[in-house]
Structure 1
Amino acid sequence: MADYDYDLFTIGAGSGGVRASRVAAAYGARVAVAEEYRVGGTCVIRGCVPKKMLVYGAHFAEDLEDAKHFGWDIQHCKFDWVKLRDNVLNDVDRLNGLYTQTLENNKVEIFQERATITGPHEITLASGEKKTAKYILIATGARPHVPECPGHELGITSNEAFHLDAIPKRIVIAGAGYIANEFAGIFHQFGAQVTLMNRSDQLLRGYDESVRDRLLQISMTKGIQFRFHANFQKIEKNEDGSLKVFMSGHDPIDADCVMFATGRVPNIEGLGLDTAGVELNDTGAIAVDENSRTNIDHIYAVGDVTGRVQLTPVAIREGQAFADSVFGGKPTTVDYSCIPSAVFSHPPIAAVGLTEAEATQKYGSVKVYQSDFRPMKNVVAHRSERSLYKMVCEATTERVLGIHMIGPDAPEIMQAAAVCVRAGLTKADFDATVAIHPTMSEELVLLK
């Protein structure tokens, strides 16, 4: 490898790229990373971390209201969006510094500029400087998709949502995935009138139908409006500066802000993939094998740019597996069969394993156990909102195939439950476990 400037050159310093680079360097590799924006990637800079902080902030709206029923005299409360926004962005700066420090502590050289593959084992930086590497890892992530409709430039994406000067009084959110539902809850709790529009009639495709339906019911009760079977036609600016959204199947809607949450597309433009001969798959993502290797032996890719599973922990696992395999002498592949996930909606959803429909299709016959209950806190707070826990089991062995939850702290509870599903435990194993009372999580060992 001494014939090259580096053993590994990583393009993109998001979660996957940072993990791969840090671990490869710890194995003794000479590593460089190019990042044209900020170290940390989508999750840390403009995604799940700052969004979760907004979710925390939004929850106080209901918590403060509920506190009255628990004896607290809450007076003169007001919400300051600019203060929350700036505090969140300040923490993003802190995390950016920590990620940078992690790379530097592991002696990874950082180039804060764009990099392009310009030849076999060759990378050219935006400054014109050329570097060579034995291996090249592409970890450039993905970006929000923006529909091609007249006036689309008047809208924003989740990237810009963290930098708004004020909370809009009326917002239209396009999409029905996790980003759309999370921001619908956030903006609603901050006092906006929220309308979520979607081209189909389903929320959160891929999640169990029971929890999807429950979220829709709760969201509508809270006052979030929905427009289904609605495709963008155009967006126009009104004389007062507000926006008018035209959509198929429905009357136009006036709004102060339009947010696109219609999926994410891989960042592949300008990387020199054509020059390198790297192949793409049918979705426009970089095609890789189980070892994250492209069709070019020395070029690998991890994370959202591959279009496999667009989740930060998965990108980290892929980066770790790449470094272990190529530089650590420990061949490792990522198991995608039992990945837990969460939607930080209001209330949140968490899931692991097969949905009831997926399990029925695969096994023919399944047993379903569930608990539909009102959390204790909601009873005292006079809040009618109900939680739903659902366990899907193989009919004969009662091996747990999937667990699906909607309710307060569902993602926190699911992390431990996911271990059980991954380990292949049965309903009897849950039944034999003593409950922690009174908790919501005890419902998992009391399911009927």
Structure 2
Amino acid sequence: MKFDAIILGSGQAGNPLAASLAKNGQKVAIVEKGKFGGTCVNTGCTPTKSYIASARRAFVTKNSSNHGVEVQGDVSINLKQIKKRKEEIIGESRSGIEKMLEENEQISVYRGIANFRDNHSLEVNGEVISAEKIFINTGARSRIPSEFENIHYYTNEGMLELEEIPEHLIIVGGGYIGLEFAQMFRRFGSKVSILDHGSRLMKQEDEDISEAIKDILEKEDIKIYFNAKIEEATANKTEVFINIKGSEEKISGSHLLVATGRIPNTDNLGLENTDVELDEKGYIKVNEQLQTSVRHIWALGDCNGEGAFTHTSFNDYQIVNDHLFGNSSRKLSDRFTCYAAYIDPPLARVGMNEKMIKEKGIKAEIASMPMNKISRAKEMGETEGILKIYIEAATKKILGASFLGTRADEYIHGIIDAMYAGTPYTTIRDAVHIHPTVSELIPSMLESPEKLEL
């Protein structure tokens, strides 16, 4: 079968691209080996945030006495009901995607694994399909260190299928996934231990942010082991045992979550039969329009190593779609890196942080404010965290921001918008924000930024 375009993967870039190609009269094949919707819908954003919402309800219910709200009796967690709610939310999203793809006469859906035969053709379930344009949107998966390959472990996917609360959850990895699951299951009632091979959590963040996150988690009785180099991991039918190098301590728990990063799903595509180039980590190399080293093959989403978030995957679609059907004005380098870690309170980031600015030797200023100085945060009883904004001294434009605090994932967008507009920080400084809100203090903190010492 010959198509105008073939898309590998029905993730956050592949689905809208299939719809756009079809709308523009092209005959499209989309290949999906798993469930429609990719990681975000099935095992990432949608299910984990529904669990986090349940965990927060439990936490607030148990910790409202100082607000004058007292709960009589125990608060119980029904993980089966939490899972059922998650499945209902996922099912609604997945069925909508499936309906869109399968009911479009211009789109042919193939369920199976695709392997490249050459630069223009692939084999799926024994059938060869070809196209003048091919789009790879195959995502990424959990990276599993060799120490854990021979014992029972969970990834984020398996944790979302549990129906009983773990007695003691051991988490290897102090990144976003590990910390979200740590706090979530602690609030569900599990004892939680985090093992991180480094000296601090979220090592890509500024040190004060990492320290504040550690304090937040430790206040909820989450045990954290730093510089935890795994010497041996063993298990029996009911228990997991982990030895840390240089320590006589053996940590044991009922469940093990391995959250040590992600690797791209590029190793089973048959790319060795093409001229598509990969980097040393297996990510597909792309140019400003997401084209690979083969001009008629594009790579979008997590497999290209240029974002690894749902919003960056969708923006990849926007860039490619503009390149195909627009004025080709969008490009990868226009994008500011931004993301959130959905611990409670959340961490939200955009652009550069203090570490990056100092490494580049940029003359900059910093405006900061602790959350415990903000009236709205005090009123809500959620005063943990800090707000930090970085300004380039020469241009007065915002270089980036790190917000750790209640609702930070929402009001960070005011900073993001200002950065895309290219406006100086004084635009926000001179704006009038609504009282009482957390974000009303952002103009105030920008009144007197201080020199950032290099």
Distance 1:274 1:424 in 2: 42
**Greater alpha carbon shift after TM alignment, 323-332 vs 196-205:** 323-332
Give the deviation of 1:376 after TM superposition.
5.1
**Cα–Cα, structure 1 residues 25 and 407, in superposed 2: closer, same or farther, change >3 Å?**
same
Asked if the contact 2:46–2:89 (Cα under 8 Å) also holds between the matched residues in 1, the reply is no
Match of residue 177, structure 1, among 175, 192, 212: 175
Q: Deviations over 1:71-121 (max 9, x none)?
A: 434334322111001110222122111111232354422112222112342
Indicate whether 1:318 and 2:349 are aligned: no
Asked if the contact 1:154–1:235 (Cα under 8 Å) also holds between the matched residues in 2, the reply is no
**Cα–Cα, structure 1 residues 323 and 382, in superposed 2: closer, same or farther, change >3 Å?**
closer
Indicate whether 1:242 and 2:236 are aligned: no
1:68 aligns with 65
Give the deviation of 1:158 after TM superposition.
0.6
| Percentage of matched positions with identical amino acids | 26
Distance 2:380 2:274 in 1: 61
1:259 aligns with 257
Asked if the contact 2:367–2:390 (Cα under 8 Å) also holds between the matched residues in 1, the reply is yes
Match of residue 194, structure 1, among 158, 183, 192: 192
Asked if the contact 1:341–1:351 (Cα under 8 Å) also holds between the matched residues in 2, the reply is yes
Asked if the contact 2:398–2:419 (Cα under 8 Å) also holds between the matched residues in 1, the reply is yes
Give the deviation of 1:201 after TM superposition.
1.0
Distance 1:85 1:150 in 2: 26
Give the deviation of 1:34 after TM superposition.
0.6
SS of residue matched to 2:117: strand
The one-letter amino acid of 1:208's match is D
Distance 1:226 1:301 in 2: 38
Give the deviation of 1:69 after TM superposition.
3.5
Match of residue 408, structure 2, among 403, 407, 410: 410
1:42 aligns with 39
**Cα–Cα, structure 1 residues 150 and 352, in superposed 2: closer, same or farther, change >3 Å?**
closer
Distance 1:260 1:79 in 2: 24
2:278 aligns with 280
Match of residue 29, structure 2, among 32, 37, 42: 32
Asked if the contact 2:376–2:436 (Cα under 8 Å) also holds between the matched residues in 1, the reply is no
**Cα–Cα, structure 1 residues 246 and 102, in superposed 2: closer, same or farther, change >3 Å?**
same
Give the deviation of 1:328 after TM superposition.
4.8
**Cα–Cα, structure 1 residues 328 and 432, in superposed 2: closer, same or farther, change >3 Å?**
closer
Give the deviation of 1:277 after TM superposition.
3.0
Distance 1:156 1:113 in 2: 25
The one-letter amino acid of 1:420's match is A
Describe how 1:26-425 pairs up with structure 2 within 5 A.
26-76=23-73, 77-106=75-104, 107-126=106-125, 128-149=126-147, 152-238=150-236, 241-250=238-247, 251-328=249-326, 330=328, 332-335=330-333, 337-374=335-372, 379=378, 385-425=383-423
1:14 aligns with 11
Structure-2-length-normalised TM-score: 0.91
Distance 1:300 1:396 in 2: 38
Asked if the contact 1:121–1:132 (Cα under 8 Å) also holds between the matched residues in 2, the reply is yes
RCO comparison, higher one (Cα < 8 Å, 6+): 1
The one-letter amino acid of 1:61's match is A
**Cα–Cα, structure 1 residues 119 and 367, in superposed 2: closer, same or farther, change >3 Å?**
closer
The one-letter amino acid of 1:246's match is N
Give the deviation of 1:289 after TM superposition.
1.8
**Cα–Cα, structure 1 residues 27 and 331, in superposed 2: closer, same or farther, change >3 Å?**
farther
Q: Deviations over 1:422-442 (max 9, x none)?
A: 223333222211232221111
SS of residue matched to 2:7: strand
**Cα–Cα, structure 1 residues 372 and 332, in superposed 2: closer, same or farther, change >3 Å?**
closer
SS of residue matched to 1:274: helix
SS of residue matched to 2:241: strand
The one-letter amino acid of 1:163's match is E
Asked if the contact 1:342–1:350 (Cα under 8 Å) also holds between the matched residues in 2, the reply is yes
SS of residue matched to 2:418: helix
Aligned length: 442
The one-letter amino acid of 1:368's match is I
Gaps of 5+ in 1: none
The one-letter amino acid of 1:94's match is E
SS of residue matched to 1:371: strand
Distance 1:249 1:27 in 2: 62
The one-letter amino acid of 2:115's match is T
Structure-1-length-normalised TM-score: 0.93
Q: CA RMSD in A?
A: 2.1
Asked if the contact 1:23–1:320 (Cα under 8 Å) also holds between the matched residues in 2, the reply is no
Distance 1:10 1:403 in 2: 36
1:446 aligns with 444
Gaps of 5+ in 2: 449-454
